[in-house]
């Protein structure tokens, strides 16, 4: 297969769905850690009882059943909402069918969340709004027993095979079982795709100051958003074009396609098995006669040789902070799970700013507070996920910049005319007090609050 054929395949899968788009739909996904309040591991039997009760209460239809017969995914056929578990039964996820109004998402979120929280409380468990499960060291980190999650875990566990690579691998191949995100997908048109990708890529360092909420308690607590490190320093990051930020600005859709074509594929499905193999760049993959990988069956790994097929493009899984999907949406993936009272901030922030992308681009292009100091956006993001600012950044100036961006977001939301601007009030408060959820948590712990108190506070629908 030629490079041009691969690029055409990428165009057909990712770019063509963005053509002739006129309306912006919102897809919100919120992952939340499950906590055993008795300071023990999450009891999976309680989780399975919850799933059955949730399905009965809301009329969802089971769509994912693991190898032991437990339901890990169910869907509301009327509105497209999904209740599932991400990677393991320690992490619950609510995903909402595409909407045009964040108020509708909030109403359904609060309805589902209140029911789940009420059910779990009867069994000494709860959900909370943290990017890292605060009791992660107590939990059983085993993947959901299905082909995809077992494949993913095996892929992450394979990092010792790549010890000769010039990169550092962290020691948490099970991070998907204790980390939780808040993600949003927005429809994007081919007309403004490149402007949106370039602009929001440059916004990522500043987002770290607002949304950081993933701390490995007891381990390097200066890192307020360890989410970046967990993804980038795992086997997902063997090809850096699969993770993190874009290290360049794109001048055209053609340049963007060139970048995507340099990403690596690491899994496919054959004969009912998910196969994982060494991450292989697309050109090399589609020009290989045979690929050898492995799959897990009842705890035993089996070698599997197969021939690449053109349809395997569907298994390309990248984890960029701004990730173009086959649905014609741009998925924003860099934000940690937020305190539950602030659950809609991530969706509102991106929705408002995409309405004002030209103005946002002008602000960031003209900035001298963080930019034009000799550092790339990627380097700046790596600095600003910490609890301290580098010496060349003036703290007052950077929060003035953040305030300008959040007010621009408010203008974008008001333009939509749906009353969604209230959802960014927590961001204004964070700017006023120069904080974010991770910093606030650590400040409370260091001032004598118990971790249990913080967990409870971050679990409340209304905590202010």
CB within 8 Å of 378: residues ≥ 6 apart? 244, 245, 247
- Domain boundaries 3-314+321-457, corresponding CATH code: 3.30.590.20
301-311 confidence digits (pLDDT tens): 999 999 999 99
Alpha-carbon distance of 70 to 51, in angstroms, equals 9
Q: Read off the pLDDT of residues 345-383 as tens digits, 9 standing for 90 and up.
A: 999 999 999 999 999 999 999 999 999 999 999 999 999
Write down the domain spans for the chain.
3-314+321-457
Eight-class DSSP state of 248:
S
Question: DSSP class of residue 167?
Answer: S
- The pLDDT of residue 163 is 75
For the chain, what is the mean pLDDT? 96
pTM over 0.85: yes
Residues 6+ away with beta carbon under 8 Å from 182 = 29, 30, 31, 211, 335, 336, 337, 338, 343, 346, 347
SS3 459: coil
Distant-in-sequence, close-in-space partners of 95: CB < 8 Å, separation ≥ 6: 27, 28, 29, 30, 81, 82, 84
β-pair type (182-187, 329-332): antiparallel
Backbone dihedral region for residue 434 (phi beyond 0: left; psi -120 to 50: alpha; all else: beta): left
Show the tokens assigned to 173: 């191949």
DSSP string for 21-74: -----EEEEEEEEEEETTTS---HHHHHHHHHHHHHHHT-EEEEE-TTS-EEEE
Summarize pLDDT for 22-66 with one digit per residue, the tens: 778 999 999 999 999 999 999 999 999 999 999 999 999 999 999
Sign (positive or negative) of CA dihedral 54, 56, 60, 65 = positive
What are the beta bridge partners of residue 184?
28, 332
Residues 91, 33: contact at Cβ < 8 Å?
Answer: yes
């Amino acid at each position: 297969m030629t490079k041009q054929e691969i690029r055409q395949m990428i165009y057909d899968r990712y770019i063509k769905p963005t053509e002739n788009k006129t309306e912006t739909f919102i897809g919100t996904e919120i992952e939340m850690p499950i906590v055993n309040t008795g300071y023990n591991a999450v009891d999976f039997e309680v989780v399975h009882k919850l799933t059955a009760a949730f399905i009965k209460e809301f009329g969802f239809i089971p769509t994912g059943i693991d190898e032991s017969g437990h339901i890990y995914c169910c869907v509301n056929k009327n509105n497209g909402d999904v209740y599932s578990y991400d990677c393991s039964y320690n992490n619950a996820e609510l995903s909402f069918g595409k909407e045009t109004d964040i108020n509708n998402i909030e109403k359904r979120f609060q309805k589902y969340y209140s029911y789940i929280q009420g059910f779990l409380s009867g069994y000494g468990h709860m959900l909370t709004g943290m990017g890292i499960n605060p009791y992660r060291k107590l939990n059983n980190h085993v993947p959901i027993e299905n082909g995809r999650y077992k494949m993913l875990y095996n892929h992450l566990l394979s990092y010792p095979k790549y010890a000769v690579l010039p990169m550092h691998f962290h020691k948490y191949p099970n991070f998907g079982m204790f980390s939780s995100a808040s993600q949003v997908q927005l429809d994007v048109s081919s007309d403004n795709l490149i402007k949106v990708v370039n602009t929001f890529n440059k916004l990522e360092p500043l987002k770290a100051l607002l949304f950081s909420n993933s701390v490995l308690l007891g381990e390097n607590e200066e890192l307020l958003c360890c989410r970046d490190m967990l993804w980038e320093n795992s086997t997902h990051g063997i090809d850096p074009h699969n993770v993190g930020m874009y290290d360049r600005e794109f001048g055209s859709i053609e340049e963007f396609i060139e970048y995507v074509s340099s990403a690596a594929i690491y899994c496919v499905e054959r004969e009912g098995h998910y196969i994982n193999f060494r991450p292989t760049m697309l050109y090399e993959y589609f020009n290989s006669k045979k690929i050898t990988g492995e799959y897990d069956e009842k705890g035993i790994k089996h070698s599997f040789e197969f021939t690449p097929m053109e349809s395997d493009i569907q298994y390309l899984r990248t984890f960029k902070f701004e990730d173009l999907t086959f649905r014609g949406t741009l998925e924003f993936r860099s934000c940690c799970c937020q305190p539950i009272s602030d659950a809609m901030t991530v969706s509102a922030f991106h929705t408002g700013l995409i309405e004002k992308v030209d103005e946002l681009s002008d602000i960031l292009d003209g900035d001298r507070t963080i930019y034009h100091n000799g550092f790339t956006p990627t380097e700046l993001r790596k600095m600003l996920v910490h609890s301290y600012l580098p010496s060349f950044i003036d703290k007052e100036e950077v929060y003035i910049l953040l305030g300008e961006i959040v007010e621009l977001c408010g203008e974008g939301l008001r333009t939509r005319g749906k009353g969604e601007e209230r959802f960014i009030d927590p961001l204004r408060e964070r700017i006023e007090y120069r904080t974010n959820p991770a910093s606030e948590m650590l400040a409370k712990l260091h001032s004598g609050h118990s971790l249990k108190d913080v967990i409870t506070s971050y679990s409340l629908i209304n905590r202010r």
